Structure 1
């Protein structure tokens, strides 16, 4: 899990995919954290992406590393409504402070459950990480 965290942090931007009815939706994300041995992402509950994850929590993440490798993550996103989880996310990602507060009624954090990450490149065998 730590390798996935470090990979995505180094990318800066990663792309999160959800389902909206029968249509895939992909958008850029950038905030990740590890809290209580779980991997977290963050969004606002007024966004369509949150409604999509609530309706169908299966998500995909994809990013390309600076070394030409790429990562794909398949997981189930589980909402964590605890203030301390939201505060940890904001503390770990200071850029969120201009848009969110842990107690603003909008900030949401979700941890990834049953996650499988695959790091691949054209020059090496895929590395699979389950968490």
Structure 2
């Protein structure tokens, strides 16, 4: 759990993350800012009508990269696992971290990171995290 908290704290303190997917051997990157720690998992939320949703359904392998203002940075490789857990969706709503108003909205998707391999780089130090 300590490792997940270390990753989440970095994400929480650096709101905009760059999430990359790959379709037909073509990498695609975009900003995402919805990291949420819930029951020892890092979740993200999104709309099902976005291309990213379609891409993740085809290939769940993702990479997330974030650089902090002090030039420390993190790289995360993981699998994006979709969940229908209404409690997670409701937590996003409760925290005001989504435009969705109803956890049962058919367009509301959440996924969590599984098989995480991460590196946090701070100055000359590199911390490797696998969970």
TM (normalized to structure 2)?
Answer: 0.90
Deviation at 1:48, TM superposition (A): 0.6
Could you tell me which of 84, 91, 95 is aligned with 2:87?
84
Query: What does the per-residue CA deviation read over 1:80-117, in whole Å, with 9 as the maximum and x for residues that have no partner?
Result: 0121121123334x241x35532211111101110011
TM (normalized to structure 1)?
Answer: 0.90
Structure 1's unaligned 5+ residue stretches are none
1:73 aligns with 2:76: yes
> Which residue of structure 2 lines up, in the alignment, with residue 15 of structure 1?
18
Contact 1:100–1:107 (Cα < 8 Å) also in 2: no
> Which residue of structure 2 lines up, in the alignment, with residue 55 of structure 1?
58
CA RMSD between the two structures: 1.4
How many aligned residue pairs are there? Answer: 128
Moved over 2 A (4+): 89-92, 98-101
SS across alignment from 1:76: strand
Structure 2's unaligned 5+ residue stretches are none
